[in-house]
Structure formats: C-alpha cells, structure tokens
Amino acid sequence: MLTVSNQHKGSYGTGCLIAPGLVLTAHHVALPGGDSVAVRDTASAGFTEAAVVWESTELDAVLLKADRALVGAGMGVVRWGELVCDYPGRRPVCSMTGFPKAMRRRAAARSEQYVDDLKTVEGTIAPHTGSRSKLYALEVDGAVPTDVKNWQGLSGAGVFCNGVLIGLARLVDRQWDRILMVLPLSHLLAADGFTAAVAAHTGMSPRLQPADLRPLMDTSPDPTLSSTYLLDPHSQVTELTGVSELVQRIEQWCKGMGPSCRQQAWGPPAR
C-alpha cells in the first residue's frame, strides 16, 4: 500500500501497488484533471510524481504510473481474483490496509506535526451483495472509528482475500454500521482499456482467480516481470485444442440425450 496525494486539491488517500511503479486507487482520491498526483510507498521518505495511464469516473478508479525504481522496486505483480462462493459459515477473511484519518498521530509527544499511520481492516464479504450495485459490502470486524468521517483516507486501498487482490475500497455505507463498499475487480477488467493498460506496463493481461477457492487449488507461480513466467504451463489458463469432437460427445452424455448416449459417447461395450 502507499499514500496518494493531490496537493493542489488537498486530497489524500491510499493506493494499491499492483506492480513496480503501477498504482491502482480511487479516482476521487487522485483527482487528476491535469494536476500532478504524488505517490509514496511505505519504504520511501518522499513523494514521487505519477502520471495517469487509465481512468474511469464512472467506476471511480484510476491507474497511475510512477518511476519503478522509486515506487515498489523489487516487488512482483499482484494476483487478480474474485469471490465465487457464498457459504455463510465458510466466508474467508478479507483485508485492506490504508491510512484512515482516525490513525493520524503526533510525530512526537509535544510535536505539532502529524503522521498518517497504517491500519489494517478485516472483515467478510457476501459475494451476492454486489450483484446490482456493482459493489461488494465488506462487514468490518473489530474496532471502528466513532465518527464516520474518520474513515477518510482509506479510500483507494486494495482489498485482498487469501493473498489475491479482489477489489478497491471506495466509500463508507452511511446507512449501515460497520460496512465499507468495495469495487470488485471484475468490473475493472471489463472496462474499456483497463486490461490493455495493465498489460502494457507488466507484459501480461490480468486474469481473475477464484480467491476464496485458492486454498483448495494448486498454487500457480507468482507473476513476475519476465518472459520466463509465461513459459510455465501453470501461469495461465490454456484452452484445449484438437478435442472439440470428444468434448461434444462427453457433453451429450452428461446431458443424458437419449438412452444410447453412453454408447455414443464411449463406443460399444467390450465383448
């Protein structure tokens, strides 16, 4: 995570590093519009200017590009995912880390300077909550600010599940206590130009994984900014070729099309 700031418009918030030098954050945090946007990761002492490479006011999201050597140097590429299951007793913990206003602290005991400290927020998401509003509702566990305004600064944080990025923190639900609204990544990947912008920077198109099923599946290699990553057969889904007729016969058998479908699919019984 990192700090995103537009000093000309007085805005600040959180951003999510998805690759070295590539930052995903909320549009209302960056407020580009011709002004320079500055970013700073937790390992840097100062801010670095960043340029807009993709933006959507409708989705309230923006991609920023900064110097790779100064922001996120040495990190890999995040995994992209979504939530696909909804078993209330088995919902995995989702988390985000950012700089909410409630975590603003004095730099020293008697200092007049303040620093924005980190806060990790955990909770659960029912996937169906985003079916109509295009937003997940994350139900927060643990302590929350006494004033809803003290959530300010957390917008733009990346929301993770089992180590996979699944969404972008957008806003606080003022109608419900302890609920934060999150933009699912599936809407970003469906937006014009987003995947192309990510691929232009990382060399690979983002693909969604079932984040809540990851503990049940074989782990694929971590994405890296190298062509060798694409040589690993486990790095991405590859379509089957040359077996379309066999797949069609198996589908017919599974659908039970006729009493003799088993013989049609697998041939006559052995004598």
pLDDT at 154: 92
Asked whether residue 93 falls in the same domain as residue 218, the answer is: yes
pLDDT at 141: 93
Query: What is the Cβ-side half-sphere exposure of residue 9, based on CA atoms within 13 angstroms?
Result: 18
Q: Is residue 257 in some structural domain?
A: no
Asked whether residue 217 falls in the same domain as residue 90, the answer is: yes
At position 138, the amino acid (one-letter code) is: L
Asked whether residue 209 falls in the same domain as residue 107, the answer is: yes
Distances from the Cα of 241 to the Cα of 232, 245, 267, angstroms: 18, 10, 22
pLDDT at 91: 84
Q: Is residue 259 in some structural domain?
A: no
Q: Which residue has the higher pLDDT, 252 or 157?
A: 157
Asked which of 34-43, 67-76, 94-103, 188-197 is least confident by mean pLDDT, the reply is 34-43
Average pLDDT value over all residues in the chain: 82
Asked whether residue 223 falls in the same domain as residue 144, the answer is: yes
3-state secondary structure of 120: strand
Asked whether residue 30 falls in the same domain as residue 104, the answer is: no
Report yes or no on whether pTM surpasses 0.85.
no
- Identify how many contiguous H helices and E strands the chain contains and give both numbers: 5, 16
Asked whether residue 166 falls in the same domain as residue 61, the answer is: no
Handedness of CA 127, 128, 129, 135 (dihedral sign): positive
pLDDT more than 90, % of the chain: 35
d(CA 188, CA 27): 13
3-state secondary structure of 180: strand
Q: What is the pLDDT of residues 102-111, one digit of tens each?
A: 888 877 777 7
Arithmetic mean of pLDDT, 165-184: 90
Arithmetic mean of pLDDT, 165-177: 89
Q: What is the pLDDT of residues 122-139, one digit of tens each?
A: 999 988 876 778 899 999
Asked whether residue 108 falls in the same domain as residue 210, the answer is: yes
Asked whether residue 9 falls in the same domain as residue 106, the answer is: no
Domain extent for 218: 80-194+204-231
86: tokens are: 């909804």
Taking 70 as the threshold, does the pLDDT of residue 235 lie above it?
no
pLDDT at 262: 47
CATH number (domain holding residue 18): 2.40.10.10
d(CA 225, CA 182): 28
Task: Find, among 75, 257, 81, the residue nearest to 168 by Cα.
Answer: 81
